Amino acid sequence: MKKRILLTVALVLSVALLVGCATEADSVLDKINQAGTVVVGTSADYPPYEYIDDAGAMTGFDIELMTEIVKRMGVELQWEDMPFDSLVAAVNSGKLDMSISCFNYDEERDLTVDFSEAYYTTEDAFVVSSAFTGSIVVPEDAANYKVGVQSGTVQDGWLTDNLVTPGLLSEANLSRYERVDQAALDLASGRIDVLMGDYVPVQALVAQNPDLLVVFHGELSTGPINIVLPEGDTALKAEVDRIIKELQAEGFIDQLAVKYFSE
């Protein structure tokens, strides 16, 4: 009887150890360290956060920030450039280890992924062409016009929740784009009247096109921006949060902001 009890205890302990090992092996941080590479997704169409420069290289505020984070993690960085609205699903499915692309916290996103500590704070903006004869005094005034927005962004969510769902803006007058530069082209050509986007990238669009101008900016859907992480991976989140706080304390992120956001 004692032998049988001892054997049962041994089996239970063995199973517990195996489960513990499996849990450790399931950690994305462990997988990154074992591979020596972290796969990070972005949508490189959102200057000055992430974009392709004249030499064909990926650059921007988020790109430099993530490059430094990964350097301090002690692994290699592999970028994956893909449409913005596919990034969260790619992290959730394990195709990406994490993603940085001017992400604001969103309750719906939080159901399937986690978020790092905030590393910067943003505002929303409405931009129009110089030929625009309407008026946008408050954000809800945009409901009177044809509006464009990048699909899957928090601005898309704000327009849907605050203008489309209450019936202020018809679905037919809301155009969603895979890339924000596509929306800017339609704005310049008159296919849409107003473009809603993140204030900093909108300023970059205006700087490139003198026929565009910002008519409103403020915090509507935006605010702190974060890195998207796999759901429940506390080890990876702790490591990324540690490095973000380190970079904030050193002034590294402030220096990046001066480099990319100074007018």
Same-domain pairing of 75 and 202: no
Residue 8: per-residue pLDDT: 40
Residues 43 and 138 in one domain: no
Q: Nearest Cα to 172, choosing from 191, 189, 158?
A: 191
For 29-43, 70-84, 175-189, which range has the lowest pLDDT when averaged over its residues? 175-189
Note down the domain range covering 213: 124-218
Residue 168 and residue 90 share a domain: no
User: Given the structure tokens 């304390």, which residue do they identify?
Assistant: 249
Q: Is residue 3 part of a domain?
A: no
Cα 229–Cα 84–Cα 256 angle in degrees, nearest 5: 70
Structure tokens at 126: 């409405």
Predicted pLDDT of residue 262: 56
Residue 78 phi, psi (nearest 5): -115, 115
Residues 6+ apart with CB under 8 A from 151: 83, 84, 85, 176, 177, 178
What does the pLDDT look like over 52-70, one tens digit per residue?
Answer: 999 999 999 999 999 999 9
Query: For 47, which DSSP code?
Result: T
* Same domain membership, residue 229 and residue 115: yes
Q: For residues 75-90, give the mean pLDDT.
A: 97
Q: What is the mean pLDDT of the chain?
A: 88
Band (pLDDT 50/70/90 cuts) for residue 252 is: very high
- pLDDT-derived band at 180 (thresholds 50, 70, 90) equals confident
Query: Which CATH number fits the domain that encloses residue 141?
Result: 3.40.190.10
Q: Is the pLDDT of residue 146 over 70?
A: yes
**Best CA proximity match to 73, nearest among 237, 229, 194, 240:** 240
Question: Average pLDDT in the 237-257 region?
Answer: 95
Q: Looking at the structure, tell me whether residues 16 and 106 fall in a common domain.
A: yes
Name the residue with higher pLDDT: 68 or 207. Answer: 68
**pLDDT confidence tier of residue 73, bands split at 50, 70 and 90:** very high
Average pLDDT, integer, range 167-187: 93
97-127 pLDDT tens trace: 999 999 988 888 899 999 999 999 888 999 9
State the average pLDDT over residues 73-82: 98
Tens of pLDDT, residue by residue over 7-33, are 343 444 444 444 444 344 578 999 999
Distances (CA, A) of 47 to 149, 161, 224, 255: 15, 26, 18, 17
Q: Are residues 43 and 72 in the same domain?
A: yes
Residue 4 placed within a domain:
no
pLDDT at 234 over 80: yes
* Structural domain total, the chain: 2
Q: Are residues 133 and 95 in the same domain?
A: no
Do residue 117 and residue 33 come from a single domain? yes
φ, ψ for residue 158, nearest 5 deg: -65, -45
